[in-house]
Copies of this chain bind each other. A is one copy, B any other.
Amino acid sequence: MSITLSTRLRDVRGSAIRDLLALTARPEVISLAGGLPGNELLPRERIAAALAAAVTEPAAVQYGETAGLRSLREVLAQHESRRLGRAVDPACVVVTSGSQQALDLVARALLDPGDPVVVEDPVYVGALQVFQAAGAQLNPVPVDADGMAVDVLADRLARGLRPRLVHTVSNFHNPRGATLSAPRRALLAELAERYGFLVVEDDPYGMLAFDGSPPAPVAAHGDRVVRLGSASKVLAPALRVGWLAGPAPLCAAVERLKQSTDLCTSSLTQLVTAELLADDAWFAAHLDQLRTALRERATALTGALATVFGDAATGSVPKGGMFCWLEFSDGTRPADLLPRALEHGVGFVPGTAFAVGQDLSAAARLCFASNPPGELHTAVERLGAAWRAGGT
């Protein structure tokens, strides 16, 4: 039988990344394509212990409040308060099924079809899909080594652009690896105030600064900001716990919409997340280990890239997170390189997959988080062999 889809779903970009992940899932391929922490970085034993403790309580398997368990919202508010340097009320925190859901709910709560939004270019593809599904009008602003070019945004605003919201991955950008500079954060918060838009500060990687201290969030510079956070990159993806922290009326709207969207997030995984995030000594030690492992991986990847490609390509210098952005200057087009790379046993995502308006055909996203240093060396050697085989 045939099914007619809604107009907006027809506008949602099919994820090239997703099709690609199917190819890179072959066991002989080392994948730098996904955006996930390696299994060995996930604190599975600690999670197992927390699960066993949580499930002794009947409430752990029952429905919970739509906005999230009070205990988790309190821990999250404490963490946010420390990041922002001012008190965050637990009532201004909503727990979601991963931070992807937080983004989807914020978009659905605020946007009517045709409403203008600002996205980064290159963009986090999950955000692009959310805004396409909401029928928003997309206005891309370039991202450089200091994050979103807020000066370009300021120009557009001065010339009349009036977005409902501006989306930014402020720390260790996916896919660009960049972190928004402190002056740009201050300016972005000021522009939000002046022009009346909301900043969606999407921050799944902020706790993964290699030196332990990312810059103060955009939300520390003003209050027209909703922050999105996630347990997926610091604890485990399968908890499906994310959150948003922002203005009370937005939280109330998101809560109302979440009720019809999935009723509530799992009480069980919320209890586990609350226990782990509240165990300050354990969590600090865990984050320290995680950052150390990620730094080693980033160093291994960038070192290998420099050795193999020399002047032909420049990699970003990761200071946290999971991604390195590689730009070729020798005419290599990563989208063309990819099929040969897969034959050589390595996968990555071409920059074109993240392009909104820019030409990113010379760039590629490489994830260093999923594989240990030795594998990363092998992966780059294979990539180099594929590149040389291309004869560019």
The interface of chain A, by Cβ under 8 A from chain B, is 1-9, 12, 14-15, 18, 36, 39-40, 42, 44, 47-48, 51-52, 55-56, 58-64, 66, 97-98, 100-101, 104, 108-113, 126, 129-130, 132-133, 164, 198, 223-224, 232, 236-240, 247, 249-250, 253, 256-257, 259-269
The reply to whether A101 and B1 contact each other, CB–CB distance below 8 Å, is no
Most-contacted residue by chain B among A15, A98, A240 (CB, 10 A): A240
Q: What is the predominant secondary structure among interface residues of chain A facing chain B? A: helix
User: Known interface pairs A51-B55, A61-B47, A236-B61. Does A262 touch B112 (Cβ–Cβ under 8 Å)?
Assistant: no
User: Known interface pairs A9-B257, A108-B9, A238-B64. Does A263 touch B98 (Cβ–Cβ under 8 Å)?
Assistant: yes
Contacts of A268 in B (CB 8 A): 238-239, 269
The reply to whether A6 and B112 contact each other, CB–CB distance below 8 Å, is yes
Instruction: For the complex formed, measure the closest distance between the CB of A60 and the CB atoms of chain B, giving whole angstroms.
Output: 6
Most-contacted residue by chain B among A129, A133, A266 (CB, 10 A): A266
- Bound complex: CA of A104 vs CA of B263, how far in Å? 11
The reply to whether B250 and A3 contact each other, CB–CB distance below 8 Å, is yes
Contacts of A249 in B (CB 8 A): 1-3
- Bound complex: CA of A268 vs CA of B232, how far in Å? 13
The reply to whether B39 and A253 contact each other, CB–CB distance below 8 Å, is no
Q: Which of B58, B133, B198, B256 contacts A44 (CB 8 A)?
A: B58
A164 nearest in chain B by CB position: B4
Contacts of A112 in B (CB 8 A): 6-8
The reply to whether B55 and A260 contact each other, CB–CB distance below 8 Å, is no
- Bound complex: CA of A108 vs CA of B107, how far in Å? 14
A224 nearest in chain B by CB position: B1
User: Known interface pairs A55-B51, A224-B1, A238-B64. Does A266 touch B263 (Cβ–Cβ under 8 Å)?
Assistant: no
Contacts of A266 in B (CB 8 A): 238-240, 266, 269
- Bound complex: CA of A268 vs CA of B290, how far in Å? 22
Contacts of A198 in B (CB 8 A): 3
Contacts of A247 in B (CB 8 A): 1, 3
Instruction: For the complex formed, measure the closest distance between the CB of A301 and the CB atoms of chain B, giving whole angstroms.
Output: 21
Contacts of A55 in B (CB 8 A): 44, 47-48, 51
The reply to whether A262 and B236 contact each other, CB–CB distance below 8 Å, is no
User: Known interface pairs A12-B260, A48-B52, A260-B126. Does A108 touch B6 (Cβ–Cβ under 8 Å)?
Assistant: yes
Contacts of A232 in B (CB 8 A): 63
User: Known interface pairs A44-B61, A58-B42, A256-B9. Does A240 touch B18 (Cβ–Cβ under 8 Å)?
Assistant: no
Beyond A42-B62, A240-B262, 13 additional pairs, beta carbon < 8 A: A8-B108, A12-B260, A44-B58, A51-B52, A98-B262, A100-B261, A129-B260, A238-B266, A238-B267, A240-B264, A240-B265, A240-B266, A261-B261
- Bound complex: CA of A15 vs CA of B6, how far in Å? 26
Q: Which 6 A-B pairs have the closest CB atoms?
A: A129-B260, A39-B58, A61-B236, A3-B249, A238-B267, A63-B237
Contacts of A48 in B (CB 8 A): 52, 55-56
The reply to whether A238 and B108 contact each other, CB–CB distance below 8 Å, is no
